[in-house]
Amino acid sequence: MTGKQLLWVGGLILAGMCLLPLGLDIYPQHVLIVSLFYVMMASSWNLLAGYTGQVSFGHAAMAGIGAYASGILAVKAGLNPWIGVGIGTVLAALLGLGLGALCLKMGGIYLSLTTLAFSQILHIIIVNQYDLTRGTMGLQVPGLVAEYSKLAYYYILLAAAVLVLFVLYRMLHSNLGLNFRAVQNDELAAKSIGVKVLQVRVLAFTVASAMAGFAGGLYGHYLLLITPEIPSLDLQFYVLAMTVIGGMGSFTGPIIGAFALNILAEKIRDYGEYHVLVFGLIALSAARFAPNGLLGVWRKLRRSTAHRTVN
Amino acid sequence: MFAISVMNGLVIGVIYALAALGVSLVVGIMNVVNFAHGELYILAGYFSYLFASALGLNFLVAMLLALALVFLLGIVIEYTLIRPTYGNDMYSLILTFILSIVLQNAYLLIFGPYPNKPPLWVKGATDVFGLFSYGNQRLAALIAGAGVIAVTFFLIKKTWFGRIIRATSQDREMAELNGVDTTRLNMLSFGLGCALAAAAGVILTPVFPVTPTAGVPVALTAFVVVVLGGMGSMWGCVVGGLLLGLVENLGAAFISTGYKNVFGFIILILVLLVRPSGLFGRTKI
């Protein structure tokens, strides 16, 4: 697709997304809002796993940092939630910078181990610091808008998701994006032509963490109740499964994955709490048999039918 | 208080060392971290609970059966999931993480969220040096854990099979040139790693009952131990495991019980800051 076509398609989808919730009930609107949160999470996680080849298990924890930082500031200090979300984003970025600088020089496995430990520790701290976080009871926080309406939140999260995707798109289609790819494909070769591998990795991790913090902050103020469910391994798993099933390393894959899985989760929930197990099995077979996800399968099918018509 | 914390620390430390040995073995040979390590540990606990409590088998038979089944499962996991990812470490991380979530949710569905406990091997308590009386089961766990570690050391350091393992983890291509079938070795050592997790599981579950997610903190501690001891170092696992067990229990006794698992994380950060290759690690990276 050329740039102009892309702009048209993007514009049309965006217009559709703007009109989409108008005819819907409150519940489907809620599902869409949550999907938008997952779009931000999965796309930013994809920046790590799909484009720079580092697997972080602390992405949900970063969302938790954003949510709790903003929530606690709003409750304890009466800070405006919008400023709180900004502070949460910066905090998540700083933590990402610290963790990234600490373990990325040792290679990918260390990042995975450290982020997994980090997310568990954060969970323990949140549960134990009852005075500050209300533990598993959850912290009640004020909303982003004076008058609560699903529609307002939908547009806020849509705007946020578009912002995140725009930043990601510009990053990936710049010189920096080439550096990301180079680092993922062959670290040694990238190093030999002067790519600063460590800096590139840490930068990607910092940016992705900031985006998770931003998404988490907004999500917390939408739910109005922040619980340790946000920085949990389950949520981390959702984000991972959405990216893997949608298509890791492609721009649209995680977006499709986020919507598909979140809507599917609602359908499965009618039959009981099986959705995590079902996603797990789907994700397992996707990672094993179709490493490029749904998008990869679709491209392959299209290629083979195109091939057949030529013949 | 101090003496009993040290004792508790030793018991859990031996189990950490055992779990870490399993992780370390697989990392050393395949450069794969098995994130489902904790779930296999729990699975062995569930198996020994099923065989001993539900089927009424002798506890020793139940344990050996559990061990063998988890070993076989490990081989199946290696064959179906890990083998296709050779050369792409990232996918093995993702696959084993997904596997751990799948197993946790499967346990929840099958066994429910309640704690289950295999029967005790021995009853009563013993007076330890006149300081305190200590549960016999925990003492037995300490001895059994140390025994399995000794057997593992013997296997790796003294036998022909161990020599192949050490050769492959030092230089894979050279080992292949000398006729080692590294693909089969990978499968075997992955199974062995899982069996070590299972050994830790069957030994510890009579003391600490199993729940679907009880494996997460144990696996996490095992990972910290592996980083602390140095990736691939066996002595590092033993020293690191005992150290972490002691730090956790003394910290829980004298600082705060709620933050028991946080001390391990602080150690991890310190190691990464001061000596990233770990206590016994090769400083080549």
Sequential pLDDT tens for chain A (311 residues): 567 787 888 888 888 887 787 877 888 888 899 999 999 999 999 998 888 888 899 999 999 999 999 989 988 888 888 898 999 999 999 999 998 888 877 777 888 888 888 888 888 888 888 877 887 777 887 877 777 788 888 889 999 999 999 999 888 888 888 888 887 777 778 877 777 778 888 899 999 999 999 999 999 989 888 888 888 888 999 999 999 888 888 888 899 989 988 888 888 877 777 888 888 888 888 888 877 778 888 888 887 776 665 55
Dihedrals φ, ψ of B247, to 5°?
-60, -45
Contact B224 A117 (CB under 8 A): yes
Contact B94 A287 (CB under 8 A): yes
User: Does residue B253 contact residue B1 with C-beta atoms inside 8 Å?
Assistant: yes
Nearest residue on chain A to B223, judged by CA atoms?
A: A113
Residue in A55, A124, A276 closest to B101 by CB: A276
| Domain positions in chain A | 24-230
User: What DSSP string runs through A15-62?
Assistant: HHHHHGGGGS-HHHHHHHHHHHHHHHHHHHHHIIIIII----S-HHHH
SS3 of residue B105 by DSSP = helix
**Neighbour-count burial for A128-163, b at 16+ CB within 10 Å, e otherwise:** beeeebbeeebbebbbbeeeeebeebbbbbbebbbe
Query: Which residues from chain A sit within 8 angstroms of residue B95, using beta carbons?
Result: 284, 287-288
Residue in A53, A120, A277 closest to B105 by CB: A277
Query: Widest CA span of chain B, in angstroms?
Result: 58
pLDDT given for residue B259 in this prediction: 74
Nearest to B47 by CA among B61, B36, B37, B34: B61
Query: Which residues from chain A sit within 8 angstroms of residue B269, using beta carbons?
Result: 102
Interface of B with A (CB under 8 A): 27, 31, 33, 35, 80-81, 84, 89-91, 93-95, 97-99, 101-102, 105-106, 109, 216-217, 220, 223-224, 227, 231, 256, 258-259, 261-262, 264-265, 268-269, 272-273, 276-277, 285
Sign of CA dihedral A87, A92, A93, A98: positive
Query: Which residues from chain B sit within 8 angstroms of residue A110, using beta carbons?
Result: 227, 272, 276
Contact A110 B272 (CB under 8 A): yes
Has residue B285 got a pLDDT over 60?
Answer: no
Average per-residue pLDDT for chain B: 84
pLDDT given for residue A147 in this prediction: 76
Beta bridge partners of B127: B133
Record the pTM.
0.88
Residue in B94, B106, B224 closest to A277 by CB: B106
Contact B224 A244 (CB under 8 A): no
Domains of chain B: 2-116+137-274 (1.10.3470)
Q: What angle do CA B172, B176, B177 make, to 5 degrees?
A: 120
pLDDT given for residue A90 in this prediction: 94
Most B CBs within 10 Å, among A113, A201, A243, A289, to test the B interface: A113
Nearest residue on chain A to B284, judged by CA atoms?
A: A106
Whole-complex ipTM: 0.86
Nearest residue on chain B to A280, judged by CA atoms?
A: B102
**Neighbour-count burial for A287-301, b at 16+ CB within 10 Å, e otherwise:** bbebbbbbbbeeeee
Window from A256-260, B122-126, B229-233 with minimum mean pLDDT: B122-126
Task: Note the pLDDT tens digit of each residue in A45-88.
Answer: 999 888 888 889 999 999 999 999 998 998 888 888 889 899 99
Q: List the structure tokens of B150.
A: 């000794």
Distance CA B185, CA B86 (A): 13
Contact A288 B259 (CB under 8 A): no
User: What DSSP string runs through A221-238?
Assistant: HHHSEE-TTTTSHHHHHH
pLDDT given for residue B284 in this prediction: 41
Nearest to B241 by CA among B19, B29, B3: B19
Q: List the structure tokens of A260.
A: 């598909």
Contact B102 A281 (CB under 8 A): yes
User: Does residue B14 contact residue B144 with C-beta atoms inside 8 Å?
Assistant: no
Distance CA A61, CA A123 (A): 8
Task: Note the pLDDT tens digit of each residue in B149-190.
Answer: 999 889 888 888 888 888 888 888 888 888 888 888 888 889
In Å, what is the CA distance from A103 to each residue of A75, B97, B220?
Answer: 34, 19, 16
